[in-house]
Structure 1
Amino acid sequence: MAKSEQLMRQVVDAADDKKANDIVALNLQHISLVADYFVICHGNSDTQVQSISTEIKKRAEEAGARVRIEGMDTARWVLIDMGDVVAHVFHRDEREYYSLERLWSDAKAVEFA
C-alpha cells in the first residue's frame, strides 16, 4: 500500500472515530497535481467539526506527516493539508453549498470494506 493511501485510510479512520458524517475519499491520482487523495466529511456542529479536525491532525502527525490547517477558528470549513492527502471537514450547511464531490466528479471514490 502506498504511503499516501495509508495516510488517507488513517484520516478516514480518525474522522470515523469522531462520528463524522458521510465520509468520502476521492482518488485524485492521474487527475490533479494538488494531492493524491481528498477526504471529505462533515460534522453537525462547530464543536464536532473541530473535534474531527483535531483528531485528523493528531493522527497525521503521529504518522509523520507535516500538517497545515486552516479554518479551525470558524469551524465552517476546515482544510487539513498533509501533502499528498487533503482533508476537508465541513459544517453540514457548507458541505452542501460547496459540493466538492461534484466539482471533482472525475475522481473515483475509494471503496472501504
Structure 2
Amino acid sequence: MSTSDPEERFTRLVRLGRDLRRLGVGTSLVLPATGYPVLEIRSAGETRARITAVHRSRGWVFTGRSGRSSWFGRVRPWRPGAWVWAEADNVADVIASAVAL
C-alpha cells in the first residue's frame, strides 16, 4: 500500500470517526461520487466541521474546514496554521475540543 493510497485515507477517517464517537461526538462519513471521503462532525443537526486526511511528506495529518463555509472555499484549520498528526495519541481529543462542541 502506498502512502497516498485512497484506502489509507478512508481507513484513517473511519478510525478517527470511531474515536470521536467514543467521546460522544456525532460523526458521519461522507463518500462522494468523485473526490475524497470526508468526516463530518455534527452538533444539534448542524455540521460543525469537515475533516479530511492528507498525506504530507512526513506522514498523515487531519485538517478541517468550517461547516459554515463552502466546501470549496478557503481552508480553515481549527487553529490558525494548524493541523493534527493522524498518529497523535490524543488526535480525537484535540479535534473534539477544537471544534468546540
Q: TM-score, normalised by structure 1?
A: 0.39
Return the TM-score normalized by structure 2: 0.43
Structure having the higher helix fraction is 1
State the structure with bigger RCO (CA 8 A, min sep 6), 1 or 2.
Answer: 1
Higher strand share: 2
